[in-house]
Amino acid sequence: MIYIVGAGPGESGLLTLRGYEVLRRADVVIYDHLVGEGILAWIPETAERIFAGKFAGNHTMTQQEIQSAMIERAMSGKIVVRLKGGDPYVFGRGGEEAEAIIRAGLPFEVVPGVTSAVAVPAYAGIPVTHRDYCSGASIHTAHHCGDNTQSATKIFLMGAGNSESLQAELLAAMSPDTPCAVIQNGTTSRQITVRTTLVHLHESVVSSSITPPAVIVAGNVASLNLSWREGLPLVSKRIIITRPEGRAEKLSSMLRDLGAEVILMPTIRTSILHRSLDGLSLGGWDWAGFTSVTGVEALFTLLCEAGRDIRELGGAKIAAIGSATRDALKSHGLKVDYMPGVYDGHHMAEGLADFGGKILMFRAENGTPEIEQVFRNYGIDSTNICLYRTDYVQLSHVPEFADIIIFTSSSTVRGFAANTGSLRDAEAVCIGRQTADEALRAGFHRVRIAEQAAVEAIVKACT
């Protein structure tokens, strides 16, 4: 996979979130000399760095060598980030690199950057447009200053409602056959691109029912189609993730890789119940069970606060729901002895009941009582220690529509339902039967259950 990333004009804070996201998981980074030092500091230590800076009369690498380096490393299975100053498609030769990648038959993504043509004047206190001073702006390179009325690209914002008058003005200076493109709702799941020629511009806008917001591009470049989004399985999907803040990064990244428009909308937050271990002994149990990553992190935080450590569990075996919980335990040096094949509380309880013995469960204060009920049904001696609680988030904004809403627990559904009665036409993708049942009770008519409580399974259920 190759990512062509615009790094912006230099200030690290102007790198986009998507640019940062893909940069942090790069295996190879090929970067230009205009990339800011702060951004270079974010390149992973394990990544191969290739400097491809170009100066007047002194090119570290030719354009062909740069393209070959990208393609060769991507073909070997590496994640390649081509890091370019500004925006890769504004005098950045990103178009040439995209063409080379397409010829090689490789997948790629273009991550736009903040162009210096707008950002640098802004930092100097100069707006490139101002209704009292000008009606537009065009961008040119100083290398070619001749009259390029015919060849220069012209970009018009808010053009959908003025396409007829705009067409008449452009026809006075440009050929009727000039390629044009009209892009509605650009970069979102509802993006529509209409390609036409100048003489048919208004007709195309009307026949395609184009409405604002829309951008019109006129010029020879409008005949190009270097699309990297077409064919991605989730390109037309808007997906809402309701996981708590800080828990959705990996899932969000994987969904965006597949073309989805992702909206992070946490419906719950968790808070550690400090001093919840006071006076409690963790020893003497046959099993210690964990139902979530939050439970794992809360336990180690509380032990540290109290000057205690995990050795108090003695010889207790470890049980966990889900691969993420297992991995969290592994990061603390604990090996999981049992993980149910179906990642939910019911199957966890059934599995531990088969083993027998006394069971200590580390859980949320207001978690689902189903695990306790199953233990009681099997006559198993179990005790809960509540390490954290879950509270609903008051949503400040609810999107008008969504194709899919992802729920990773029953509490995320309840938090969603407590905030809004809308969006029930969306498909609910849920972890576990308990969460799915909660979604049905909340009024969702289309519910799909991920095969496992794992990010990969959630993504699969969305496609």
**Is 158 considered catalytic here?**
yes
Active-site pick, 1, 27, 54, 257? 54
In 76-193, which residue ranges form alpha helices assigned H by DSSP? 94-104, 116-123, 163-171
Cα–Cα distance for residue pair 112/333, rounded to 1 Å = 41
Q: Give me the numbers of helices (H) and strands (E) for the chain, helices first please.
A: 15, 21
* Separation between Cα atoms, residue 152 and residue 220, nearest integer Å: 8
Tokens 């576990």 correspond to 432
Task: Give the DSSP per-residue string, 351-378.
Answer: HHHHH-S-EEEEEETT--THHHHHHHHT
Residue 185, SS3 per DSSP = coil
Instruction: Give phi and psi for 297, each to the nearest 5.
Output: -65, -40
Cα–Cα distance, 452 to 430 (Å, whole number): 10
Rounded-to-integer distance, Cα 420 and Cα 444, Å: 13
**Phi (first) and psi of residue 48, to 5 degrees:** -75, 130
54 is catalytic: yes
203: CB partners within 8 A, 6+ apart: 196
Give the span between the Cα atoms of 97 and 146, in whole angstroms: 26
In 3-state terms the chain splits into helix, strand, coil percentages (rounded to 5) of: 35, 20, 45
Token digits for 362?
Answer: 């580390």
Contact assessment for residue 403 and residue 426, using Cβ atoms and an 8 Å cutoff? yes
Terminal Cα distance for the chain, rounded: 19
Residue type present at position 345: G
Q: How far is CA 48 from the centre of its chain?
A: 24
Please tell me the total number of residues recorded for the chain in this structure: 463
From the candidates 32, 87, 344, 403, give the one annotated as an active-site residue: 32
Amino acid making up residue 99: E
CA distance 140 to 160: 25
Q: Do residues 287 and 355 make contact, with C-beta atoms less than 8 angstroms apart?
A: yes
Spot the catalytic one: 158, 309, 391, 425. Answer: 158
105, two tokens: 């038959």
Which pair of tokens denotes residue 319? 């049980």
Q: Which amino acid is at 276?
A: S
Active site amino acids? 32, 54, 158
